């Protein structure tokens, strides 16, 4: 077995290759002409750019403002019945595919829905609702630990000084919140900026088109690769800017949260706390409930008899498993090396490896897809390579998650057990079997489950290059929506949601062990 | 070439769909999704053709007309399609320029088209006229002209299709250009606030219209026949515009890359035959291209008279389409 840092470098090199090659393709192979450059300056591009930023800003504000209130309410509400349930519910949108969420949102707020908004959902309204559905619970889960990070004696001190609610907020809570808020805000902003499936399905035509969707349209609608390249470069530049800002304020709280409430007696439950939590929980639960009901009401039996649906489900499953395997393996190889380096006191280099692996989230999938299209199309048909492409891009997108989830576990484990293994002379398989695996399987399980579910529900590169041979479940769902077969789409969405939830649960249990 | 996709697809088909039978040749036809829907011509056409061809006819519905051509360009020679059915004469010049189509070598004997047909690559199967369809109860006083529709600031709300993906969408773009000429961009900007959404294909826009999302939907002068015949519902009508209506002739062509050329030709021949043509009026809700008017259902005589028919020369559309679409994009996003 290869020891030490060596194993990370081939992986890093491969990572650099698969990320940078399409970008080089964009810069070099796009065959831009002067006429195409005028496109930079067209009202359409500026409108797309403005709309991208505007919807991302609004989505971030609308997600974060209530998220702060809800997180605060959760921190102060004590250990009420259903607290664990609410926190679990808030984790669900993480694994709900975007197209499925869109259907749920339409089911609740659409003109035929339970709580019709009165205005058309197609356009900004719908996009914002769907983005808040995803990011409000995410932000709550990320912000909640900030309250837990306030030391107990600060609360006691506040109590002794007779702080009222305003003073407590100003002197205790806000300073803690200020630490993590920019990181969370930038993460949400980035997610909304690169959101594709939501804008694709809910965008009301050219008026509400983001750069990410414009890239797709210039390839699929206009068959105009040079324009796609220009848009992709613009989007890339924007994401790099946001990422640079993120690096500056990078202090994202860990994803794994401690569900324990703040110690009893150190809080005064405000009367608004529980209703607020209830409303947020309903906001998250309603679309899922509406979707489930629609799926059950749809022509479920008839649809489930169709080979097309099962083929799409099979392809989605294969993509999910492959992406999970590749991402987890690559992540593990990288992390092993970085933990090794860190243990030997070369923390800076270790940090670089992890940053390198996380940086891929700067490159949006559609930008990668366009790059690969430009790179590959002179030689082979991208349609024949769509599955490896989709698996690769999804594995890349999943890698930062593996790093964040598996990284801390591995570092801690290595620091604790390395000397023991060396003194016992445990190496290779034996060490893996008896020392590494039992400790790390939980983190492995969570990583693999997450990547698998994300890849399964992805509607990105597959929308660019999907053909009838390679229709995945999200793509089939998108086609059914496009053909206005809403009842069929509901059944597909129900199946996709069920598969995602079931697989997440299953993988976490099978790999992570019984107590995961 | 070794193809991952095919390998995957076959492996998965075996795993999840059971046995794969490959005894018959398969003819793959790319078309738009409303053609393949269960109430569209697809199921009947498939059954009728498969009776005689000893083959498996696969009709793949892809969004809308323009998308089919874009899809073909993206796929190029590697396309799995043998026949493309569902682009219209506004796109034939561009389709010809791709060099992907093969000569059909067939003659059209009994054309019902208002104009004569001569084209070595494409054959028409139906034609119609774009029109805005509305519900009489919801909109008692529809506009009487395209100009009136555009200029009434508080006029009816609209559902239209994207000219980059859909042939009706492209048709409206050309219709506007035909009526407003150089002022088309201004006219679009006037219309934009009342456009509820721009859908990718006809099906979505029409579905949204039937669900009551807008007052009018861009469709065909023949669409109300569907409601009269299939639903005995006479509430729906097409608004007759005094400037005339833009015409659409829908065509099909076979591909050079097809490995089933004789079968593809057989399908095109079948498409011109009376069996296929009789399916069209009450499934695709268009005028069949090769069937005498006397064979149309009686309800078709209750439809509006769309004359004068407006139509650009296909070469001109090929030259200008891109610029006109950019103009449209700028006008509706303004």
- Angle CA B16–A310–B2, to nearest 5: 60
Q: What are phi and psi of A427, to 5 degrees?
A: -140, 170
Chain centroid offset of residue B333 CA = 25
Answer yes or no: is A8 within a domain.
yes
CA distances A343 to A336, A410, A417, A426, Å, are 11, 11, 11, 18
Say if residue B156's pLDDT is above 60: yes
Q: Look-up: residue for tokens 């205790």?
A: A172
Average pLDDT over residues A123-131: 93
Least confident of A49-53, A226-230, B142-146, B317-321: A226-230
A122 touches chain B (CB under 8 A): yes
The predicted structure's pLDDT at residue B21: 45
What pLDDT was estimated at residue B17?
41
Q: State pLDDT tens for residues A392-432.
A: 999 999 998 898 889 888 888 888 888 888 888 888 888 88
Between A73 and A354, whose confidence is greater?
A: A73
* Bridge partners of residue B133, in order along the sequence: B217, B238
- pLDDT band at residue A250 under the 50/70/90 scheme: low
Considering only CB atoms, which chain B residues are within 8 Å of A221?
Answer: 66-67, 70, 162, 164-165
Confidence of residue B301 (pLDDT cuts 50, 70, 90): very high
Whether the per-residue pLDDT at A28 is higher than 70: the answer is yes
For residue B160, list its beta bridge partners: B198
Q: What is the pLDDT of residue A260?
A: 53
Percent over 90 (pLDDT), chain A: 39
**B216 forms bridges with which residues in the sheet?**
B134, B158
Tell me whether residues B33 and A482 touch, CB distance under 8 A.
Answer: yes
Rg of chain A over CA atoms, in angstroms?
24
**Rounded distance between C-alpha atoms, residue A516 and residue A511, angstroms:** 9
Vertex B313 angle, CA B308 and B314, to 5° = 125
Contact B162 A383 (CB under 8 A): no
- Residue A32: pLDDT over 70: no
Interface of A with B in 299-328 (CB under 8 A): 307, 310-311, 313-315, 318
Please judge whether A42 and B326 are an interchain contact, meaning their C-beta atoms are less than 8 angstroms apart: yes
**Domain span at residue A172?**
4-29+56-512
Question: First-to-last CA distance in chain A?
Answer: 29
Nearest Cβ partner of A310 from B1, B4, B16? B16
Residue A291 and residue A285: Cα distance in Å, rounded?
10
pLDDT band at A60 (very low <50, low <70, confident <90, very high): very high
A188: helix, coil or strand? helix
Over 50: is that where the pLDDT of B331 sits?
Answer: yes
Please give, rounded to a whole number of angstroms, the shortest distance from the CA of B244 to a CA of chain A.
27
Which chain A residues are Cβ-neighbours of B66 within 8 angstroms? 221
- CB contacts of A43 in chain B (<8 Å) are 330, 333-334
Q: Is the pLDDT of residue A1 over 60?
A: no
Whose tokens are 């309800």? That residue is B299
Mean pLDDT (chain B, rounded):
89
Q: Report the chain A residue with the minimal C-alpha distance to residue B163.
A: A221
In B74-106, which positions are buried (b, 16+ CB within 10 angstroms) versus exposed (e)? Answer: bbeeebbbbbbbbbbbbbbbbbbeeebbbebee
- pLDDT band of A262, cuts 50, 70, 90: low
Tell me the pLDDT band of A339, cut-offs 50, 70 and 90: confident
Do the chains contact at A204 and B197, CB–CB below 8 Å? yes
Closest-CA distance, B69 to chain A, in angstroms, reads 9
Nearest residue to B58 (alpha-carbon basis) of B257, B251, B262, B263: B263
More confident residue, A267 or A290: A290
The whole-number pLDDT of residue B45 equals: 96
Which of B12, B42, B159, B213 to mutate: most A Cβ within 10 Å? Answer: B12
Report pLDDT for A122.
Answer: 82
Let me know if the fold of B4-127+248-292 is the same as that of B128-247+305-333.
yes
Residue A443 has pLDDT above 70, yes or no: yes
Structural domains counted in chain A = 1
**What torsion, rounded to 10 degrees, do the Cα atoms A199, A200, A202, A208 define?**
60
pLDDT at A130 over 60: yes
Mean pLDDT of A118-147: 90
pLDDT in tens, A76-89: 887 788 889 999 99
Give tens-digit pLDDT for B255-268: 999 999 999 999 99
Please give the share of chain B, as a percent, with pLDDT higher than 90: 67
State residue A29's pLDDT score: 58
Positions of E strands within chain B: 26-31, 56-61, 83-88, 101-102, 123-135, 158-161, 195-199, 216-220, 236-238, 245-255, 287-288, 309-310
Comparing B80 with A447, the larger pLDDT belongs to A447
> Using the beta-carbon criterion (under 8 Å), do A470 and B333 form an inter-chain contact?
no
Determine phi and psi for B6, rounding to 5 degrees.
-65, -40
On whether residue A195 sits in a domain, the answer given is yes
- Give tens-digit pLDDT for A445-496: 999 999 999 999 999 889 888 777 788 999 999 888 887 888 889 999 999 9
Summarised one tens digit per residue, pLDDT across range A205-216 is: 788 889 999 999
pLDDT band at B15, cuts 50/70/90? very low
Find which of B1, B2, B3, B5 to mutate to test the A interface (most A CBs within 10 Å of its CB): B5
* Residue A289 in domain: yes
Phi/psi of residue A60, each to 5°? -65, -45
Is A49 within a domain?
no
Residue A399, φ and ψ in degrees, nearest 5: -55, -45
Residue A435 pLDDT > 90? no
Query: Is residue B308 reached through a cis peptide bond, with omega within 30 degrees of 0 on the bond before it?
Result: yes
pLDDT of A289: 95
The Cα A312–Cα A480 span in angstroms is 13
Best mutation target, A383, A477, A499, to test chain B (most B CBs within 10 A): A383
**For residue A245, what pLDDT band results from cuts at 50, 70 and 90?**
confident
Q: Residue B34: name the closest of B12, B65, B7 by CA.
A: B65
Residue the block writes with tokens 């996009």:
A127
Q: What percent of chain A has pLDDT over 70?
A: 91
Place of tokens 């009508």: B237
* pLDDT beyond 90 at B114: no
DSSP-assigned beta bridge partners for residue B250: B88, B126
Average the pLDDT over A126-155 and give the result. Answer: 91
What local confidence, expressed as pLDDT, does residue A13 receive?
85
Residue A116 has φ and ψ, to the nearest 5°, of: -60, 135
pLDDT the model gives residue A5 = 47
Q: What is the pLDDT of residue A342?
A: 80
CATH classification at residue A375 = 1.10.3720.10
Q: How high does pLDDT run on average in chain A?
A: 86
pTM of the model: 0.86
What mean pLDDT is predicted for residues A128-139?
A: 96
Least confident of A287-296, A323-332, A418-427, B175-184: A418-427
What are the angstrom distances between the C-alpha of B68 and each of A175, A221, B31, B167, B320?
Answer: 57, 10, 7, 10, 20
Domain chopping of chain B, boundaries: 4-127+248-292, 128-247+305-333
The C-alpha angle with vertex A294 and arms to A288 and A300, in degrees rounded to 5, equals 120
Q: Between the ranges A145-159, A294-308, B9-23, B156-170, where is the mean pLDDT highest?
A: B156-170
Residue A26 has pLDDT above 90, yes or no: no
Residues A357, A334 contacting (CB under 8 angstroms): yes
Better-predicted residue by pLDDT, A137 or A250: A137
Lowest mean pLDDT of A347-356, A498-507, B48-57, name the range: A347-356
SS3 of residue B4 by DSSP: helix
Residues 6+ apart with CB under 8 A from A48: A209, A210, A211, A213, A214, A231, B333
B4-127+248-292 classified as CATH 3.40.190.10: yes
Contact B332 A207 (CB under 8 A): yes
Give the pLDDT mean for B203-227: 92
Q: Does domain B128-247+305-333 have CATH number 3.40.190.10?
A: yes
Q: Say which residues have a Cβ less than 8 Å from residue A490's Cβ, sequence separation at least 6.
A: A103, A107, A291, A294, A295, A297, A298
pLDDT at position A66 is 96
- Give the model's pLDDT for residue A31: 62
pLDDT one-digit tens code per residue, B222-234: 999 999 998 899 9
Task: Give the torsion through C-alpha atoms of B19, B23, B28, B33, to 10 deg.
Answer: -40
Query: With the C-alpha atoms ordered A486, A492, A498, A500, is the resulting torsion angle positive or negative?
Result: negative
Quote the CA–CA distance of A25 and A37 in Å, as a whole number. 17
Cβ <8 Å between A483 and B204: yes
Q: Tokens 């269960």 map to which residue?
A: B38
């Amino acid at each position: 077995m290869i020891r030490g840092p060596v194993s990370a470098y081939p992986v890093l090199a491969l990572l650099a290759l698969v990320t940078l090659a399409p970008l080089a393709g964009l810069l070099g192979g796009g065959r831009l002409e002067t006429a195409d450059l005028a496109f930079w300056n067209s009202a359409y591009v500026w409108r797309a750019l403005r709309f991208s930023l505007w919807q991302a800003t609004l989505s971030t504000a609308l997600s974060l403002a209530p998220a702060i209130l809800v997180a605060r309410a959760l921190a102060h509400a004590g250990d009420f019945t259903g607290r664990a349930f609410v926190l679990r519910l808030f984790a669900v949108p993480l694994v709900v595919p975007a197209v499925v969420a869109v259907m749920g949102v339409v089911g609740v707020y659409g003109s035929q829905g339970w709580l019709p908004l009165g205005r058309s959902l197609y356009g900004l309204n719908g996009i914002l609702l769907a983005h808040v559905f995803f990011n409000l619970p995410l932000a709550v889960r990320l912000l909640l630990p900030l309250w837990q990070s306030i030391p107990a004696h600060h609360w006691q001190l506040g109590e002794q000084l007779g702080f009222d609610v305003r003073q407590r907020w100003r002197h205790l809570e806000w300073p803690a919140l200020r630490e993590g808020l920019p990181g969370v805000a930038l993460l949400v902003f980035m997610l909304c900026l690169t959101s594709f499936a939501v804008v694709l399905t809910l965008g009301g035509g050219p008026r509400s088109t983001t750069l990410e969707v414009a890239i797709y349209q210039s390839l699929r609608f206009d068959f105009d690769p040079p324009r796609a390249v220009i848009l992709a470069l613009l989007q890339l530049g924007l994401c790099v800017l946001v990422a640079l800002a993120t690096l500056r304020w990078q202090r994202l709280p860990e994803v794994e949260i401690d569900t324990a409430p703040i110690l009893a007696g150190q809080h005064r439950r405000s009367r608004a706390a529980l209703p607020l939590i209830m409303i947020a929980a309903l906001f998250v639960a309603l679309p899922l409930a509406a979707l489930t009901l629609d799926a059950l009401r749809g022509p479920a039996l008839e649809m489930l008899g169709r080979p097309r649906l099962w083929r799409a489900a099979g392809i989605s499953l294969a993509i999910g498993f492959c992406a999970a395997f590749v991402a987890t393996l690559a992540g593990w190889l990288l992390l092993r090396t970085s933990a090794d380096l860190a243990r030997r006191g070369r923390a800076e280099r270790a940090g670089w490896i992890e940053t390198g692996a996380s940086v891929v989230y700067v490159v949006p999938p559609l930008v990668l897809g366009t790059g690969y299209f430009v790179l590959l199309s002179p030689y082979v048909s991208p349609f024949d390579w769509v599955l490896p492409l989709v698996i690769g891009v999804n594995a890349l997108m999943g890698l930062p998650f593996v790093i964040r989830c598996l990284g801390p576990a591995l570092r801690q484990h290595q620091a604790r057990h390395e000397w023991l293994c060396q003194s016992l002379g445990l190496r290779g398989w034996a060490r893996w079997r008896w020392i590494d695996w039992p400790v790390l399987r939980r983190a492995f399980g969570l990583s693999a489950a997450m990547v698998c579910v994300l890849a399964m529900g992805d509607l990105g590169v597959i929308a660019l290059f999907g053909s009838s041979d390679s229709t995945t479940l999200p793509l089939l769902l998108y086609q059914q929506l496009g053909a206005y077969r809403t009842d069929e789409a509901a059944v597909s969405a129900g199946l996709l949601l069920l598969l995602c939830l079931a697989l997440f649960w299953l993988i976490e249990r099978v790999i992570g062990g019984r107590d995961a | 070439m070794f193809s991952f996709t095919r390998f995957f697809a076959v492996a998965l088909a075996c795993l999840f769909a059971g046995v794969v039978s490959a005894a018959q040749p398969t003819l793959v036809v790319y078309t738009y999704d409303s053609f393949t829907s269960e109430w569209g011509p697809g199921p009947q056409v498939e059954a009728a053709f498969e009776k005689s061809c000893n083959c498996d006819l696969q009709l793949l519905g892809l969004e809308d007309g323009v998308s089919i051509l874009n899809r073909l360009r993206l796929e190029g020679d590697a396309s799995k399609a043998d026949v493309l059915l569902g682009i219209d004469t506004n796109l034939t010049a561009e389709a010809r320029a791709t060099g992907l189509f093969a000569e059909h070598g067939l003659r059209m004997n009994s054309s019902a088209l208002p104009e004569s047909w001569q084209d070595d690559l494409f054959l028409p199967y139906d034609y119609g006229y774009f029109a805005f369809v509305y519900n009489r109860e919801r909109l008692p006083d529809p506009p009487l002209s395209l100009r009136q529709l555009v200029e009434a600031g508080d006029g009816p709300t609209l559902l239209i299709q994207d000219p980059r993906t859909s042939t009706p969408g492209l048709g409206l773009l050309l219709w506007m250009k035909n009526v407003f000429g150089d002022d088309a961009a201004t006219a679009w900007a006037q219309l934009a606030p009342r456009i509820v959404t721009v859908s990718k294909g006809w099906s979505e826009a029409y579905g949204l219209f039937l669900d009551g999302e807008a007052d009018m939907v861009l469709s065909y002068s023949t669409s109300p026949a569907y409601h009269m015949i299939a639903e005995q519902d006479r509430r729906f009508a097409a608004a007759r515009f005094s400037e005339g209506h833009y015409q659409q002739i829908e065509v099909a062509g076979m591909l050079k890359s097809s490995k089933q050329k004789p079968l593809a030709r057989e399908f095109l021949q079948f498409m011109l035959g009376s069996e296929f043509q009789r399916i069209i009026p009450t499934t695709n809700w268009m005028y069949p291209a090769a069937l005498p008017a006397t064979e149309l259902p009686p309800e078709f005589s209750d439809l509006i008279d769309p004359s004068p028919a407006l139509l650009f020369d296909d070469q001109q559309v090929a030259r200008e389409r891109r610029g006109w679409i950019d103009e449209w994009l700028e006008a509706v996003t303004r």
